[in-house]
Amino acid sequence: MNSDRLEKLLDAYFDQALTPVERQELEYELLASAPARDLFWKRARFHALLRRHGREAAGRRLVAGADAAEAAASRSLAATTPPGPFPRRTPAWLRLNQTDWLWGATAALVMLAVLSLLLPGTATGWLVALALSVGVAAAFARRQWAVGRAADTGNPVEGEPVTRPAIAELVNAVGVEWEQPHAPLPGTALSAGLLRFAKGLVELQFFRGARVVIQGPAEFELVSDMEARCRRGRLRAAVPLPAQGFRLLTPSLQLVDLGTEFALDVETDGRAEVHVFTGEVEMTDAAAATAPRKLLEGQATRVLVNGRTADIPVDRAGFVTLEEVHRKADGLMRERHAAWRAAMRELAADPALLVHFDFEQLPSVYHLLPNRAAGAPAETHGTIIGCQLAGGRWPDKTALDFKQFGDRVRFALPRSLENATLLAWLRIDGLDHRWNALLMSGSAQVGEPQWQFEQPGQLKFGKRSVPGWGLGHLEDYTTARLFHREQMGLWVQVALVHDLARGTVSHFLNGEAVAEQPLASRQPIQFGDMELGNWTPQIGQPMEPIRNFNGRLDEFAIWGRALTADEIQHLYQLGKVL
């Protein structure tokens, strides 16, 4: 084959525009010619470099762009959806608003008029059906344009509610016992709302710069990036110049920071203490129309229930500092890492554990990823291709960072399993593709597994029921949307249980079951040549071949049995960051 022809075929391949005949022609050439394969990989690397620019931001933008539509559809279905243990996915047609349907109706009427002129004598029913089809397509196209434009410009989607913006980040949560149903994880971006916890230390950083350390028991409400309300609890705040004017409210006081570090102790009956360590604080009685009082560096006051105040000595040592929180968090994370290591040594003795990659103590030439399961055959050890070493869940934990087009880990598990559990600890940095690989097989054989993330944030497991590529060749088990922009960059545990004995597939996120679906067949999972974080189809050219994962991975395991929900929750408690 001449070079011009090869270049043309490669261009078509990376544009996903190969015809079946051209695809077969390129496959034969790549199998037969080493120079052709070299050129293919050079082009692949160049293609990856072009894609890399803005990858993480693009992935987050795509996730963010779907948030408004998801929120609106959930509310519109709330009154009519029967209760159940797991959320349902929203039909796409329910996301169309009045303007979309108006566009569709206009397009349908125009098409009907045009067809009546061009095709006189044609049956009216056929004309109407075709015009209505065009109208529905126009409505969907208009909605997709609106969502895409909103994602590109940052403006809200027309007809959809505006989601609440994040105003602060939960930096640390040390020994916290939450008193609310959904406990945020360290690293979570927080919107306006109330935080309640019985004990522990919480560190927040507001997006205008103010840092607050809160000691439980506490009730602390985030109002905006420049305002918060403390109903009870002890806190210390450091406010840099960009956040000067930060307001902190209590049941009896309003404090305006003038560029300072201060502390506050609020009791449930409304009594409070204010201590100024540096700078100035402006204090106003919340109930009485009195002039503000300025507290200067080294001053402190106690406010009684009746509103009277009394000056007291400033207590610098009585409130936890940012440095103390960081030392406590670092020490606790190291303790958790050590405890996890000890538990993993016991876990390795489980005869049902077939693969366990802990990403710990990698060889200096780290292309080898050891399988820590007891008696693991040589072929089950992983080979690292590309990837970079990076930090994991804890300060001294190692992870692999998947970013480039070719990054992956390859290993073999020549086993057929009726019951199996897959588990991973990972951090998603972006969902760049329609499908984003976690664990994949590319043999196109019956029973092969495909475990991946789907835009805009579902977890998807597929098991091939018909050999070869094509629609309907996979049994698909997909969750509702689990990953929103708030979860990008956070360490999470995902797990999947394939239980042929019970006839179910179950998905788990952070130790909790999020979906359970009946198996469509009695076909076991057929493992073989496997890849983590990428996909290499071994025959032909399927749809969406580029599925490389964008994020980090610091633990992966496969068991040859169905773990119980309690076992998965136990593994989550062992492995969570704090």
Long-range (24+ apart) CB contacts under 8 A made by 227-231 are 230/264, 230/266, 231/266
**Is residue 404 domain-shared with residue 453, that is, in the same domain?**
yes
| H or E segment to which residue 439 belongs | strand 435-441
> DSSP letter at 242?
G
Q: Choose one of 96, 125, 153: the last residue of a domain.
A: 153
SS3 of residue 214 by DSSP: strand
CA dihedral 519, 523, 525, 527 (to 10 degrees): -160
* 188 shares its domain with 300: yes
Give the pLDDT confidence score for residue 239 in this predicted structure: 94
Q: Is residue 239 part of a domain?
A: yes
Give 127's pLDDT tier (boundaries 50, 70, 90).
low
Query: Are 184 and 101 members of one domain?
Result: no
The whole-number average pLDDT for the span 48-63 is 52
Residue 224: band (very low, low, confident or very high) from pLDDT cuts 50, 70, 90: very high
Distance from C-alpha of 299 to C-alpha of 277, rounded to nearest angstrom = 8
**SS3 letters across 461-527:** EEEECCCCCCCCCEEEEECCCCCCHHHCCCEEEEEEEEECCCCEEEEEECCEEEEEEECCCCCCEEC
Would residue 326 count as lying in a domain? no
Mark whether 409 and 522 lie in a shared domain.
Answer: yes
Average pLDDT, the chain: 82
- Cβ distance 283 to 301 under 8 Å? yes
For residue 147, is it within any domain? yes
Shared-domain flag, residues 379 and 303: no
Q: Are residues 385 and 498 in the same domain?
A: yes
Condensed to tens digits (0 to 9), the pLDDT of residues 300-350 reads 999 887 778 899 999 999 999 999 999 999 999 999 999 999 999 999 889
CA atoms within 13 A on the CB side of 217: 6
Q: Which range among 132-141, 154-163, 455-464 has the greatest average pLDDT?
A: 455-464
pLDDT over 90 percentage in the chain: 55
Q: Which of 97, 130, 153 is the last residue of a domain?
A: 153
How many domains, the chain?
4
User: What Cα–Cα distance (Å) separates residue 197 from each residue in 193, 218, 321, 426?
Assistant: 13, 6, 19, 27
Higher pLDDT, 365 or 419: 419
Per-residue pLDDT at 277 exceeds 90: yes
Supply angle C-alpha 478, 480, 481, rounded to 5.
115
**Residues 174 and 148 reside in one and the same domain:** no
Q: Are residues 192 and 134 in the same domain?
A: no
Same domain, 173 and 91: no
* In contact, 412 and 380? CB cutoff 8 Å: yes
CATH for 308? 2.60.120.1440
What are the two backbone dihedrals, phi and then psi, of residue 286, each rounded to the nearest 5 degrees?
Answer: -70, -25
The domain containing residue 98 runs over which residues? Answer: 68-153
Q: What is the pTM of this model?
A: 0.70
Does residue 348 form part of some domain? Answer: no
Q: What is the pLDDT of residues 11-50, one digit of tens each?
A: 778 777 777 667 767 766 776 677 777 787 777 766 665 6
Domain assignment present for 115: yes
Taking the C-alpha atoms of residue 292 and residue 421, their distance in angstroms, rounded to an integer, is: 63
Q: What is the pLDDT of residues 165-218, one digit of tens each?
A: 889 999 999 999 999 888 888 888 899 999 999 999 999 999 999 999 999 999
Kindly state whether residues 311 and 390 are assigned to the same domain: no
Per-residue model confidence (pLDDT) at position 21 = 66
Q: According to the model, what pLDDT value does residue 79 have?
A: 33
**Is the confidence at residue 70, as pLDDT, over 50?**
no
In which element (H, E) is residue 427 found? strand 419-430
Per-residue model confidence (pLDDT) at position 213: 97
- Boundary of a domain, candidates 266, 297, 320: 320
Instruction: Classify residue 63: in a domain, yes or no.
Output: no
140 found inside a domain:
yes
Residue 174 and residue 148 share a domain: no
Identify which has the larger pLDDT, 104 or 515: 515
Confidence at 462, pLDDT banded by 50, 70, 90: very high
Query: What is the pLDDT, as a whole number, of residue 145?
Result: 53
Same domain, 187 and 265: yes
Cα–Cα distance for residue pair 429/239, rounded to 1 Å: 30
pLDDT the model gives residue 203 = 96
| For residues 238-251, average pLDDT | 92
CB 332 within 8 A of CB 221: no
Domain membership of residue 105 (yes or no) is yes
